[in-house]
Amino acid sequence: MFEIQQAAITAGQHVLVVDDLLATGGTAMSAIDLIQRLGGVAVGFCCVVELPALNGRARLPAGLPVFSLIQRDG
């Protein structure tokens, strides 16, 4: 379960989502959904490790910039 304080993001605020891992994209999409529910704008996603074989990048909104420091298969 993801939670956020309602006052954490104001309408129109730009937010960069930062996580340790991008695998299936479920966690990233949960964070982006919360940002959007509060009226914020997700402007990008970055992570330390991405597992490309699980195709999590494809679940993120089209056009959202995605950056990973390491891509690791297996």
Q: What is the pLDDT of residues 7-53, one digit of tens each?
A: 999 999 999 999 999 999 999 999 999 999 999 999 999 999 999 99
69, part of any domain: no
Q: Report the pLDDT value the prediction gives residue 73, as an integer from 0 to 100.
A: 87
- Number of structural domains found in the chain: 1
Which domain does 48 fall in, by range? Answer: 14-57
72, part of any domain: no
50, part of any domain: yes
Q: Report the pLDDT value the prediction gives residue 74, as an integer from 0 to 100.
A: 67
43, part of any domain: yes
71, part of any domain: no
DSSP secondary structure, the chain, as one string: -----GGGS-TT-EEEEEEEEESSSHHHHHHHHHHHHTT-EEEEEEEEEE-GGG-GGGGSPTT--EEEEEE---
